[in-house]
Amino acid sequence: MWNFTVQHVVHIINRIPSPLLKFKSPFELLHKEPPSIIHLKVFCNTPFSQHKNFINQSE
């Protein structure tokens, strides 16, 4: 199960824009076109955020 989870996390991370890459995704830099994300499905329904501002607002 964890192997499946890690593979999917990497797949998603490679399709998320990054400020370090001038708001382009690694996929986009490699393939010269934006990634399609219509095939993604909900994996877990528990909300979670590591964003510092989100955590501070909830306190």
Q: How many domains does the chain have?
A: 1
Q: What is the mean pLDDT of residues 39-48?
A: 68
CB 34 within 8 A of CB 25: yes
Domain of 25, in residue numbers: 2-58
Q: What is the pLDDT of residues 23-37, one digit of tens each?
A: 999 999 999 999 988
Full-prediction pTM beyond 0.85? no
Q: What is the mean pLDDT of residues 32-49?
A: 76
Task: Report in angstroms the alpha-carbon separations of 2 from 7, 8, 23, 49.
Answer: 9, 10, 29, 20
pLDDT confidence of residue 14: 92
pLDDT confidence of residue 17: 93
